[in-house]
Amino acid sequence: MSSVAETQSLVVGQEPAGAGPTRERVVVVGGGPAGLATAAALRSKGVDALVVDRADEIGASWMAHYDRLHLHTVRWLSHLPGMRIPRRHGKWVARDDVVSYLRSYAQGLRVRLSVAVRSLRREGSGWVVETSDGEIRADAVVVATGFSIEPVIPEWPGLDAFTGEFLHSREYRNGHPYAGRDVLVVGAGNSGAEIAVDLVESGARKVWLSVRSGPNIMRRDLAGFPTQALGVVLSRLPVPVVDRIAGVTQRLTVGDLSKYGMPRPGRGLYSRVRQDERIPILDVGLIGMLKRGEVAGVAAVAGFEGAEVVLADGTRLGPDAVIAATGFRRNLGGLVGHLNVLDDRGNPTFHGAATNPETPGLYFIGYSNPLSGNLRAVAIDARRLARTITAR
């Protein structure tokens, strides 16, 4: 797929559950950006892959995110193979525009919605995909179910008896219900930082941001130049070199936020990306709010007692609501855990165009989150994967 025109000329449409053959050359599990990109790249090579997704519409997982979400990667480094994101969507693409783009993109592909994939098993020289709509046999299977599958909520003592409002960030939509209220946001990743900003802008009376370990924070733009573009260049350098460059950049453009309750990062920016899969916070207003006292950084949550939240430093807070921006699990165990293809974190042990000799024809895409941006990596990996599959 090399152009929008070509994409539109290949329109097949979405298949209803139960339609189509039970034998496929390639089945793609997951209809998010990684799955759609893979199917599009395969289509350009003459392989008409079937995409299977448990959701009832394209972009459902994106619509489940909070209202103000924008891509943290710049538009021109975020498009999928064969179709650019329209310029009218701006530099930082909003959630609803991402959904619109994905739905337009899917029109050139075969997608079967409302079908859950339960398990995969090797049979003969191919695979059997067990779904809620029956079995599909395939020569190759690409798993692209994404990051945000199962919300993670730490097992805090006393949480069950907390008398205030408690929700995971997946349930948060906007800050309007919290106007005039005191809110504790737990988790200093990009979601937690953006939700804290949204709460302040929506009129919350007090906003605390609970931090377990000091995050690396970067300006989203540096003199009008997207930080992601800098990440594309820096990701080719050795980890210690990038850590030093990023450290100097943070000191010059962000400053010392420890006096505002945001601890200094314990390790370098690129070290945390590579070792912990923790990408830096790209600032959308948090830095200024911390310095103005509109958001207060506080210690990690140790537990709950009635209406109070007890922090690791002994501080007690009495928020009206607690929003846990504590991340997600990939939750691949039920699907492929029996195949010995996951590491101790639940991540695939091979990725992109690579496959394991013990599970030939099984691929994973979309599970990396590099400094250069996830969607950019998805586009690159999809093209490589398509070349590998068509060469088999």
- pLDDT tens for each residue of 125-160: 999 999 999 999 999 999 999 887 789 999 999 999
CATH architecture of 151-327: 3-Layer(bba) Sandwich (3.50)
CB contact at 8 A, 296 and 183: no
CB atoms within 10 A of CB 55: 17
Domain boundaries, the chain: 4-149+330-391, 151-327
Least Cα distance to 365 among 110, 107, 42, 59 occurs for 42
**CATH architecture of residue range(s) 4-149+330-391:** 3-Layer(bba) Sandwich (3.50)
Considering Cα of 60, then 154, then 297, then 165, what sign does the dihedral take?
Answer: positive
Measured distance CA(31)–CA(315) in Å, rounded:
44
Chain centre to alpha carbon of residue 307? 32
CB–CB of 138/77 below 8 Å?
no
The 3-class secondary structure across the chain, one letter per residue, is: CCCHHHHHHCCCCEECCCCCCCEEEEEEECCCHHHHHHHHHHHHCCCCCEEECCCCCCCHHHHCCCCCCECCCCHHHCCECCECCCHHHCCCCEHHHHHHHHHHHHCCCEEECCCCEEEEEEECCEEEEEECCEEEEEEEEEECCCCCCEECCCCCCCHHHCCCEEEEHHHCCCCHHHCCCEEEEECCCHHHHHHHHHHHHCCCCEEEEECCCCCCEEECEECCEEHHHHHHHHCCCCHHHHHHHHHHHHHHHCCCCHHHCCCCCCCCHHHHHHHHCCCCEEECCHHHHHHHCCEEEECCEEEEECCEEEECCCCEECCCEEEECCCEECCCHHHHHHHCCECCCCCECCCCCCCECCECCEEECCCCCCCCCHHHHHHHHHHHHHHHHHHC
pLDDT digit string (tens) for the chain, length 392 residues? 333 333 332 333 455 554 444 889 999 999 999 999 999 999 999 999 999 999 999 999 999 999 999 998 999 999 999 999 999 999 999 999 999 999 999 998 999 999 999 999 999 999 999 999 999 999 999 999 988 778 999 999 999 999 999 999 999 999 999 999 999 999 989 999 999 999 999 999 999 999 998 899 999 988 788 888 888 888 889 999 999 999 999 999 999 999 999 999 988 999 999 888 888 999 999 999 999 999 999 999 999 999 999 999 999 999 999 999 999 888 899 999 999 999 998 899 999 999 999 999 999 999 988 888 999 999 999 999 999 999 87
Distance CA 13, CA 54 (A): 17
Single out the residue of 12, 218, 233 nearest to residue 106, CA to CA.
12
Q: Is the entire prediction scored with pTM above 0.85? A: yes
Chain mean position to CA 180:
31
Summarize pLDDT for 5-55 with one digit per residue, the tens. Answer: 333 323 334 555 544 448 899 999 999 999 999 999 999 999 999 999 999
Instruction: Let me know: does 101 contact 108? Beta carbons within 8 Å.
Output: no
Q: Are 29 and 117 in contact (CB under 8 A)?
A: yes
Q: Are 294 and 183 in contact (CB under 8 A)?
A: no
Nearest of 295, 388, 375, 386 to residue 74 by alpha carbon = 375
Instruction: Please report the pLDDT score of residue 332 as a whole number.
Output: 93
Specify the pLDDT at position 15. Answer: 57
The amino acid at 211: V
Structure tokens at 149: 């599958």
Question: How far is it, in rounded angstroms, from Cα 80 to Cα 183?
Answer: 37
Cβ neighbours of residue 120 closer than 8 Å, sequence gap 6 or more:
29, 127, 128, 129, 130, 141, 143, 335, 336, 339, 362
Ramachandran angles phi, psi of 48, nearest 5°: -95, 80
